[in-house]
Amino acid sequence: MRRLLIIGAVIAALLGATAFELRPAHISREAIGASVTQTADAIERAWRLPVAETFNHQLVAQSNLSLCGPASLANVFRSMSEPAKSESAVLAGTGRCWTGFCPFGLTLDELADVARAHTNRKVTVLRGLTPDEFREHLRRSNDTSRRYIINFRRREIFGAGVGHFSPIAGYFENEDLVFVLDVNENFRPWLIERFRLFAAMNTLDGDKKRGLLLIE
């Protein structure tokens, strides 16, 4: 009986932690609009960037707040004509998030392992980048043979929120603006200055820096 009580307490604690992790920070549409660029003309122009065009104006939102990583992979794989084009297909056979939820989310390394399970393309974790190295990768984000997924913390951009994954779909170098395909339907795609996105990426997830996932 004592063992059952202990197991029950552990499960309750985990469920409580899960509920906390999945509870969205309240960020109004006005606050989002004031933090990033989302004007119709700017977003439409961004959709015409070389890599953005491979998404065909289609972005499937994450089904719950814990699945931003799998949703980002599914959208990227769809743009590259890879077979795993949904969250469930991306997670199949990986042993991760088998309930349909990732209680504590996925780390950058864990998402890389999930990606490798469903593609023969090279998958690289890019962590600890300098601002100049980040800019160089953004320049290459317009190369249609490459895809980038960024792991960043919302708080640095929107004033609230936790870690998040989303695809990068291109870069306007002359304007120093990055096009982010936010898989959270409450945010939707946006443009942001490079240095601000770098600051949001250059944060800790546990004891490791966040960073980029490169698929090529």
50-85: pLDDT as tens digits? 999 999 999 999 999 999 999 999 999 999 999 999
pLDDT at 31 over 70: yes
Residue 154 lies in a domain: yes
pLDDT at 117 over 70: yes
Residue 130 lies in a domain: yes
Q: Report the candidate in 94, 104, 84, 101 with the shortest Cα–Cα distance to residue 21.
A: 104
Q: Please give the average per-residue pLDDT across 1-25, as a whole number.
A: 43
Please tell me the predicted confidence (pLDDT) of residue 104: 82
Q: Report the candidate in 159, 161, 167 with the shortest Cα–Cα distance to residue 62.
A: 167
Tell me the C-alpha to C-alpha distance, in Å, between residue 36 and each of 39, 54, 99, 157, 158.
9, 23, 34, 8, 8
CATH number at residue 150: 3.90.70.30
Output the pTM of the full model: 0.88
Residue 106 lies in a domain: yes
Please tell me the predicted confidence (pLDDT) of residue 13: 41
pLDDT at 10 over 70: no
Residue 8 lies in a domain: no
By residue range, what is the domain housing residue 35? 27-215
Distance of CA 149 to the CA centre of its chain: 6
Residue 196 lies in a domain: yes
CA distance 123 to 116: 6
- Comparing 15-24, 89-98, 167-176, the range with the smallest average pLDDT is 15-24
pLDDT band at 105 (very low <50, low <70, confident <90, very high): confident
Please tell me the predicted confidence (pLDDT) of residue 3: 52
Please tell me the predicted confidence (pLDDT) of residue 29: 86
Residue 77 lies in a domain: yes
Tell me the C-alpha to C-alpha distance, in Å, between residue 23 and each of 2, 17, 103, 211.
32, 10, 11, 23
Residue 80 lies in a domain: yes
Percentage of the chain beyond pLDDT 90 is 81
Number of folded domains in the chain? Answer: 1
Please tell me the predicted confidence (pLDDT) of residue 8: 41
Q: Please give the average per-residue pLDDT across 109-130, as a whole number.
A: 97
Residue 2 lies in a domain: no
pLDDT at 88 over 50: yes
pLDDT at 17 over 50: no
